[in-house]
Amino acid sequence: MRGFMDGAGSGSEELAEADRALAEAQVDNPEAAAAIGQVRAQLNQVEADQDAAENGEDVEDSRTREQRRQEGRDAMELSMRQSLLPEDYPDAEPTEGMDVSGLDGLPYPVRVYLAERIGHVIQEPESWRRSVAEWTPRIIFALVPIYALLLALMHFWRRGIFYYDHLVVSLHFHSFLFLLMTTLVLLSPLIGAGGILVFFVWSNFYLYKLHRKIYGHGRFFALMRVVVIDILYFVVLLFAMLILFAMGVLLA
């Protein structure tokens, strides 16, 4: 038992090394990539057995669950490849694949690359989460000048107010949003899902007060600008989320 635990204890380091080697494996060397993938699967099983032993679970049950999860991932990856690369699976029925309408017109090398990246995310979803976590602050930072541009468009006729001024307002507003989100996350055990409503109401009220105090709008025009900016910024956030998702897939 001690030997098993000692071997599993070093599994994390070996697992990380296998991940790096698998990421560096070239597409034109599938045999090496397949061999590294087998090592990766074995190390995954070692970690699963270790977790089961530490939690007092039956190792065989743990292996059965892991095998079922792996079979599900393999089936999902195969379905994706059949839809994205139909020329590689001429005997596959159309209903067996995922709906990737809009991507079938891409060049074959591009679809091969996408299939490799999506397959990697399916097999190793944790790598996608790490990539998304790494790029989220950068995307948020890029939203600050975009929001300032929206403010500038809403006040393009105002003289004496420059883009720099809107950028300062945008930075101030986003700083408030981050502070509000941090506070609500800390209070989430007490307020639960009600924090979402608090965030929506308080952030918009704060934006309304910004328009009243900084830009000198009346109540009606300040409220109208809050509504318009909310709609425009929501569209921007949707595009930002799509970009973040794509970056997570391509850089995982």
**Per-residue model confidence as pLDDT tens digits over 106-153:** 788 888 888 888 888 888 888 888 888 888 888 888 999 999 999 998
**Cα(36)–Cα(124) distance, rounded to whole angstroms?**
14
For tokens 């830009």, the residue is: 215
> Are 111 and 220 members of one domain?
no
DSSP state of 97: S
**Cα(169)–Cα(25) distance, rounded to whole angstroms?**
47
Report pTM.
0.62
Q: Is 94 helix (H, G, I), strand (E, B) or coil?
A: helix
> Are 93 and 179 members of one domain?
no
> Are 220 and 239 members of one domain?
yes
**Any idea how long the chain is?**
252
> Are 143 and 230 members of one domain?
yes
> Are 21 and 68 members of one domain?
yes
**Cα(159)–Cα(215) distance, rounded to whole angstroms?**
12
> Are 189 and 240 members of one domain?
yes
> Residue 22 pLDDT more than 70?
no
- Mean pLDDT, all residues of the chain: 77
Query: pLDDT at position 147, please?
Result: 93
> Are 60 and 156 members of one domain?
no
Question: Can you list the alpha helix ranges (DSSP code H) found in the chain?
Answer: 2-9, 11-24, 30-54, 59-84, 108-123, 125-154, 163-191, 194-213, 219-251
83, amino acid identity = S
Given 120, 153, 183, which residue is the final one in a domain?
A: 120
User: What does the pLDDT average to over 10-29?
Assistant: 52
> Are 137 and 243 members of one domain?
yes
User: What does the pLDDT average to over 150-164?
Assistant: 85
> Are 37 and 22 members of one domain?
yes
- DSSP letters for 139-197: HHHHHHHHHHHHHHHHTTT-TT--HHHHHHHHHHHHHHHHHHHHHHHHHHHHHTTHHHH
Of residues 92 and 71, the one with the higher pLDDT is 71
> Are 94 and 162 members of one domain?
no
Number of structural domains in the chain: 2
- Residues in CB range of 41: below 8 A, 6 or more apart: 70
**Cα(240)–Cα(143) distance, rounded to whole angstroms?**
8
2, amino acid identity = R
Question: Is 139 in contact with 244 (CB distance < 8 Å)?
Answer: yes
- Structural domain harbouring 224: 127-251
> Are 132 and 246 members of one domain?
yes
> Are 144 and 43 members of one domain?
no
